[in-house]
Structure 1
Amino acid sequence: MNYRHKKFSRRELIKFMAFGATTPFIWGLTNKTEAAKASKAQVKYQDEPKGNEKCSNCIHFIPGETQDANGECKVVQGSVSPQGWCTAFAPES
């Protein structure tokens, strides 16, 4: 039999279909990190603290290069002020 006319066996066809069905699912899981972040409007972000609650005291805050520099948040998109606050605030233990 010529290699151009070789047919897939049933087992090969099932493997190919299973791989094709799981690939989009796996690809979707790997691209969820950025999609999980909320916009500043969704969490009512503000640049001022709310009492003693401020971003620099939150478990989600990733500090900037200096103590006063803006940092990042694990929950909120974009840069955030260490003096800021949002509804996702969770105090450090």
Structure 2
Amino acid sequence: MKEELKPSRRQFLKMGGAAIALIPVAAVSGKAMAATNSAMRTAMKYQDKPSGDKQCGTCMHFVPGKTPTSAGGCKIFPGDTEISPHGYCVAWIAKPK
């Protein structure tokens, strides 16, 4: 009966290989699920469109994404990775030149 509970070397290698194969899947799925901070967005009256000349891409709090048109982050909205560079909120402050 003890031999049934004792895993074999082959079972150990299979489980280890499967675990290693799942690491990239877990990493990609975490990035695929974008995070938004809904409470802060509401409090700061965030919108996905600019307000005149004021837009996130020209704000000092904006953290740009991979490209100039891709979504980025904001220092005001912790954990939010879906801030549009064309968005706007009441915390907008022009970037210093």
TM-score, normalised with respect to structure 2: 0.55
Deviation at 1:51, TM superposition (A): 0.3
Structure number with larger C-alpha Rg:
1
Residue 88, structure 1, aligned to residue 85, structure 2: no
Which residue of structure 1 lines up, in the alignment, with residue 43 of structure 2? 42
Unmatched tracts of structure 2, length 5 or more: 1-38
Q: Aligned pairs, how many? A: 56
2:84 and 2:53 map into 1 onto residues whose CA distance is 15
Deviation at 1:76, TM superposition (A): 1.7
Aligned structure 1 segments of 4 or more residues deviating by more than 2 angstroms: none
Residue 54, structure 1, aligned to residue 55, structure 2: yes
The letter of the residue matching 2:85 is P
Unmatched tracts of structure 1, length 5 or more: 1-37
Deviation at 1:50, TM superposition (A): 0.2
TM-score, normalised with respect to structure 1: 0.57
The letter of the residue matching 2:45 is K
Which residue of structure 2 lines up, in the alignment, with residue 18 of structure 1? none
Q: Output the aligned Cα RMSD.
A: 1.1
Higher helix share: 2
